[in-house]
Chains A and B, each alone.
Chain A
Amino acid sequence: AQTVTQSQPEMSVQEAETVTLSCTYDTSESDYYLFWYKQPPSRQMILVIRQEAYKQQNATENRFSVNFQKAAKSFSLKISDSQLGDAAMYFCAWGGGGATNKLIFGTGTLLAVQP
């Protein structure tokens, strides 16, 4: 069975600094997708970034980028120039290659941004 592990329950970063959130996963499948979702206090889960496993190039979305290490089964999220609005719970998720798109989530990392 697939598992997703986020080993950092809480992290803190100074405004304008860079922070990296860790995620590792375990799977025997070769076709899969990885996601980072953000959940602010409003509770709305928002997609931050998506990575296809068959792509070697790391995905980026503005200040958010990932370091995808397929052999190591690692998928970390880097937030550059952190802003107060980045404070949220961040979830890493794994999805298989089938069309059902059901995701397996990690336990989350609560990110605090200090002014």
Chain B
Amino acid sequence: DVKVTQSSRYLVKRTGEKVFLECVQDMDHENMFWYRQDPGLGLRLIYFSYDVKMKEKGDIPEGYSVSREKKERFSLILESASTNQTSMYLCASSFGISGSPLHFGNGTRLTVT
């Protein structure tokens, strides 16, 4: 079974802090994704990566950056956390084959106070 592991299930940070959300997958997937989930808005893509050190902006990249130094690890960085970044963050991965499904982690619920 594919395992996508997010380092924290719950996180509470203060406004202005730099926040790191970590994600690791064990299936040698080429693609990795960070989504944000908010009630009534569904899942929205923040960033994705299709290879080591490669990244592309999704639909809502403002206020976020990412890092992929190793194939299995994809980090989401909030440079200066703000209250409007309080949300559920979901990491996912997939093979780099057209139509391959995404496999998700359990999510990190981030609260910025």
Contacts and interface: CB of A to CB of B under 8 A. Distances in A.
Interface residues of B, number: 30
A33 B33 CA distance: 17
- Report the interface size class on chain A: 20 to 34
A107 interface: yes
Contact of B99 (A9, A50, A104, A107): A50
A49 to B, nearest CB: 10
Interface of B: 30-31, 33, 35, 40-45, 48, 50, 56, 58, 88, 90, 92, 94-104, 106-107
A60 to B, nearest CB: 16
B96 to A, nearest CB: 5
A104 B48 CA distance: 13
A16 interface: no
A86 interface: no
A93 B33 CA distance: 15
